[in-house]
Structure 1
């Protein structure tokens, strides 16, 4: 997860709390959309990697491998990253930019 943008978007919500209600709720909505897209991106890549390695994973389970061993075995390659839909990446980028803009607005309003 992109920790810097997580901090930026959450700070925007915190700073805008108690100021202009429209901007505050817009920041909350933006933060929720940001979190959703941030969690969807690695999930989609991991699913594609698991589908690609399905037979190997099944063999490992039959041999008694733990879940941690299976997760360590799975590699996410460039093809898995490219399988993430562009619209999710676009939404993620837009929410990051809006988070920065809302944070700047919150700082200007608050201080």
Structure 2
């Protein structure tokens, strides 16, 4: 009887312990890992993303803005200056030649 009881208890305890441990460990590990990973990932990602984004954005924006502004300003200034100078010179030259024309005709 004692042999049967010991075999029964060993089988029962092994099954019970395996089921209990598997359930307990799965629940504990899922809760622990979810909390740990969420905290760790949030901290790591916030630090990493802030550093990465600040460096990346500063470099990208400086390069982009310098290229964009140089191209934009060169095009804008060339167009603006050409239009402005053409209008100014046409008005100035027309007034100048008109004054010469009027002064020569009035002197005659």
Q: Same fold (TM over 0.5)?
A: no
The structure with the largest helix share of the pair is 2
Structure exhibiting the larger radius of gyration computed from Cα positions = 2
> Given the two structures, how large is their TM-score scaled by the length of structure 2?
0.29
